[in-house]
Structure 1
Amino acid sequence: MVTLDMTIVNVALPGMRSGLGIDPVDLPWVVNSYALLFGGFLLLGGRAGDLFGQRRLLLSGAALFAVASLVGGLAQAPWQLVAARAAQGLGAALMAPAALALLTLTQHEGPERARALGVHAAVSAVGGSAGVLAGGLLTEYAGWRWVMLVNVPIALAVALLATRSVPSGAFGGRPGRLDATGAVLATAGIGLLVLGVVRTEQHTWTSATTVLTLGAAAVLLVAFAVWEGRTRTGDPLIRLGLLAQRNVAGSNLFMLLLCAGQFASFYFVSLYLQEVLRLPTARAGLAFLPMCGAVVVGIFASTRLLRRFGVRALLVPGGLLAAAGFAWFGLLSPDGGFTTDVLGPSLVAGLGIGLCFVPLTAAATGGLPPHEAGVASALLNSSRQIGGAIGLAALVTAQVSATADGLAEGAPVDLATTDGFGLGLALAGGCLLGAALIAVFVLPGGRGEDRAAPEERTARGAPVDA
């Protein structure tokens, strides 16, 4: 639900605009308000789960998400819809790290945890493309309001299942206090970073607005790092030593580049299907089914192979496959078709993406004590969100520039548009090539997900000889 709602409203935007009379200038905020609150509060949500209990955060986030979805589905004015999307983003920031932390803490080391992480990675990885599919079907056959209302029963089911299956107070809730200063600096810094990036559609990268916003974000994040480094007592929002671990740093950098390419590719392929091939909304959404299937195949293959071959041995071929798929997408033709231009690269890119998610999750969260499970999960989700936002903004800028150049040279509209999409998709392949290089040079080698010291593994309940 959290990942699906990052993309489900994209194809419903025209219906929302006409239904509520949203000004075209304000329309991007239906998407951006979710990204802003989700990205800005992830670290705070992850740390709050470590201190106050992962179950409590999961239930609170699900309740907030349900209420926000209901308000958005019944909205009568643009500001109500935008506010509801922002509240959804806050609920997602509470739920996402708590859900992954609970899986890490409740499943035993080895095949059991690998299977659980595989299921989690599967639904997370297909969420973006499934959002495009679900948004298209719901908008065409039920109306745009159901893009919001469909979340209400799902969020209530999450709350019900968590109440029944997760023991109260068993995970998280250790004594300690929340680092208020660190929380303010991190939340404001990440929020301004996401805000500056998502507004590049209205303000160019070199505009005073963008430069000042990103500059302020950099100052706040540097101040956050300095503050956390000087914190000697209490509970810092994030232990800086965590970021120095090669498995944590490498997996988060890989995730950032992976999602930069992945979310941009969804955007370009969706527009190619609708604007160049002239497919209706529902058929454009269905065109993402092969990629979803390939992602799932890759994920469950990686689940079986992870313990045998290790993180790096899966991330390198996975990143290279995804890079090849996106580069193949870059050969789109204005007179092409789904079978000739979309199906093949969808299968290759989807398989590569699928091979990456389980080892990334294992590397980012394995080997850590229980009281850092939430913040490690939040870091990975932050990398996913920030990478998607930055990658989409940067690659769309390149695509728009290439399309404008083609039109200025007198190229037909469809040719100039397709060339722009092709450049954006080729750059997405470059992002995945960079991710594969990070797997080679940054991530540690060896098999398995857990490199914790024996005493750390014993403290969190894992067998010493795991």
Structure 2
Amino acid sequence: MSPHIDLTRTKSIAQQMSPMREFLFVGILCAAQFTTQMGLGNVLTILHVIGEGLNITNPGVLSWLIAGYSLTVGSFILISGRFGDVFGYKKMMVIGYAWFALWSMVAGLSVYSGGVLFIFARVLSGIGPAIILPNALGLLGATYAPGKRKNMIFSLFGACAPVGAVVGGCFAGLWSLLWWPWTFWTLAVALFILAILAVLILPSVPVKPEYQLLSLKEKFIDLDLLGASVGITAMILFNFAWNQAPGFGWHQAYIYVLLIIGLLMFPVFFWIELKIAPKPLLPFDALTGDVSLILGCIACGWASFGIWVYYFFQFLQILRGESPLLTIAHICPLAISGVAAAITTGRVIGRWGPGWVMFCSMCAFLTGNVLIATAPISQSYWAQTFVCAIIIPWGMDMSFPAGTLILSNTVKKEHQGMGASLVNTVVNYSISIGVGIAGTVDVQLGRGGRTKEDLLRGYRSALYLAVGLSALGMCLALLLLVKMFILGKKESRDEERETVEKSEA
């Protein structure tokens, strides 16, 4: 039975653990990021194999298999983080792994039904990662005190993203040689095992006394379900419109209706959070100018990454004719470079500061997108494609730890799950919306991909959008650096003035 630990002593939880228990503890929590990206990488790798098996040939509908998953991951993270704050991180971790396992199993079983059930299962399976990601980060944030050790743990968590995507793609490529549904059935088994391990290994950190004394009705009031419902609906409608349009056309009136309703619901959500909700879903006290700039950088960078990763696979498999396994072999440097980036970030973020780390990450996103956007079809893999796979992980594994650490160190300990939710929401929602917008660019400028030249034009147009987004993120990071420099100079002058005044006194 896992130990119960007083929340007031959570900064020493890691010190109370034996090395083996801490290893398992960190492993189960990092598996949240690992399995989330497995769920993305496995479908990306065998996207066209699944399409053939389910008779899905429309590229706009195929992109839904990716965007639908990221949509629910991004949309439900905020409320899942609040559930963790109120009911406990461990409970939510167990529920999240079990939910993810259930719908991964259904996704495999959809081979007997059709594409509609598969898309439905993919969308609902995304709620599982939405539950485990913020609560894993919340538990890590509540366990480790700020310092080098915490920096390295969060960097390790970020490193699991590219590694998980590559491992998921590798297994998907292997299972596709036998029968592609096994990709999802084996993932479901692994997730069920993780749910059991979470019950046995994770410590039960009690919620704060004020939550313990609340009735179930009062807890649901404290969850801000009204704000969550409006916010989630707004994000889903806005995202659905952008991802539905490439496959079914912007001439459909309902797409405009959903897009406008979604846009109108965003200000309603902020009004509820600011004026009505007794305990807002968003920690507005943590949304300083610096944090907002960093979240803007993350949104631009990860939207460009969503476009990059989708069209990188399309470029290799459709234009270069590579098999799923060869594609994964060519993307393996992503995992190796990602681990190196995470370790480096954990070591330098305390000395450089999050501003410089974020700027470097945006430069990596920009460079990676430029390389693949300009790569000729017949060019050797070792020229631009290999270099691109080496550089792009530095954008992922520098931006994610920087944003997560800032939010974790800014919000109060009892809101760790909610604070960590913000970064994960921005990351995953940006991936989904980036793929949707790029799909429209692809369809409109690629003329439906009737010829290979049209396909290339559409892919490159989408990737040029990614270049623009990452360049915008770099500008925001540069603005953050300038702001931090000016603030640092001001603080230095204030300290000098205080020193002079004390000496004169």
TM-score calculated relative to the size of structure 1: 0.86
- Counterpart for residue 159 of structure 2: 122
Change (3 A) 1:51 1:258: same
Q: What is the CA deviation profile of residues 10-61 of structure 1, one whole-angstrom value per residue up to 9, with x for unaligned ones?
A: 3434443444556858655544443343233222111111111111111111
Deviation at 1:392, TM superposition (A): 1.5
User: Given residue 390 of structure 1, which amino acid in structure 2 is its aligned partner?
Assistant: I
User: Given residue 264 of structure 2, which amino acid in structure 1 is its aligned partner?
Assistant: V
Whole-Å separation in 1 of the counterparts to 2:380 and 2:351? 40
| CA contact 2:361–2:396 (8 Å) conserved in 1 | yes
- Counterpart for residue 429 of structure 1: 467
User: Are 1:112 and 2:149 matched, yes or no?
Assistant: yes
- Counterpart for residue 376 of structure 1: 419
Q: Which runs of 5+ in 1 are unaligned?
A: 408-412, 447-466
Q: How does 1:190-201 map to 2 (within 5 A)?
A: 190-201=235-246
Aligned partner of 1:240 among 258, 281, 284: 284
User: Are 1:391 and 2:434 matched, yes or no?
Assistant: yes
Aligned partner of 1:156 among 188, 192, 199: 192
Greater C-alpha Rg: 2
Whole-Å separation in 2 of the counterparts to 1:5 and 1:173? 37
Whole-Å separation in 2 of the counterparts to 1:264 and 1:366? 31
Whole-Å separation in 1 of the counterparts to 2:119 and 2:392? 33
User: Are 1:10 and 2:44 matched, yes or no?
Assistant: yes
- Counterpart for residue 338 of structure 1: 381
- Counterpart for residue 409 of structure 2: 366
SS of 1:2's equivalent in the other structure is helix
- Counterpart for residue 138 of structure 2: 101
| CA contact 1:8–1:132 (8 Å) conserved in 2 | yes
Whole-Å separation in 2 of the counterparts to 1:163 and 1:101? 17
Change (3 A) 1:325 1:69: closer
SS of 1:332's equivalent in the other structure is coil
User: Given residue 77 of structure 1, which amino acid in structure 2 is its aligned partner?
Assistant: S
Change (3 A) 1:292 1:347: same
Larger CA deviation: 349-358 vs 54-63: 349-358
User: Given residue 427 of structure 1, which amino acid in structure 2 is its aligned partner?
Assistant: L
Whole-Å separation in 2 of the counterparts to 1:414 and 1:378? 41
User: Given residue 291 of structure 2, which amino acid in structure 1 is its aligned partner?
Assistant: V
| CA contact 2:299–2:430 (8 Å) conserved in 1 | yes
User: Given residue 333 of structure 1, which amino acid in structure 2 is its aligned partner?
Assistant: P
Identity fraction in percent = 21
SS of 2:375's equivalent in the other structure is coil
Aligned partner of 1:259 among 302, 322, 344: 302
Q: How does 1:186-335 map to 2 (within 5 A)?
A: 186-204=231-249, 207-231=252-276, 233=278, 235-243=279-287, 245-335=288-378
User: Given residue 144 of structure 1, which amino acid in structure 2 is its aligned partner?
Assistant: W
User: Are 1:185 and 2:223 matched, yes or no?
Assistant: no
Whole-Å separation in 2 of the counterparts to 1:384 and 1:144? 28
Whole-Å separation in 2 of the counterparts to 1:380 and 1:276? 34
SS of 2:388's equivalent in the other structure is helix
User: Are 1:86 and 2:130 matched, yes or no?
Assistant: no
Deviation at 1:232, TM superposition (A): 6.3
Q: What is the CA deviation profile of residues 312-368 of structure 1, one whole-angstrom value per residue up to 9, with x for unaligned ones?
A: 111112211321222122221132231223112222233343332221221232221
User: Given residue 191 of structure 2, which amino acid in structure 1 is its aligned partner?
Assistant: A
TM-score calculated relative to the size of structure 2: 0.80
Change (3 A) 1:377 1:303: same
- Counterpart for residue 97 of structure 2: 62
Q: How does 1:37-52 map to 2 (within 5 A)?
A: 37-52=72-87
Change (3 A) 1:311 1:239: closer
User: Pairwise CA RMSD of aligned residues?
Assistant: 2.6
User: Given residue 262 of structure 2, which amino acid in structure 1 is its aligned partner?
Assistant: A
| CA contact 2:366–2:471 (8 Å) conserved in 1 | yes
Aligned residues: 438
Change (3 A) 1:172 1:428: farther
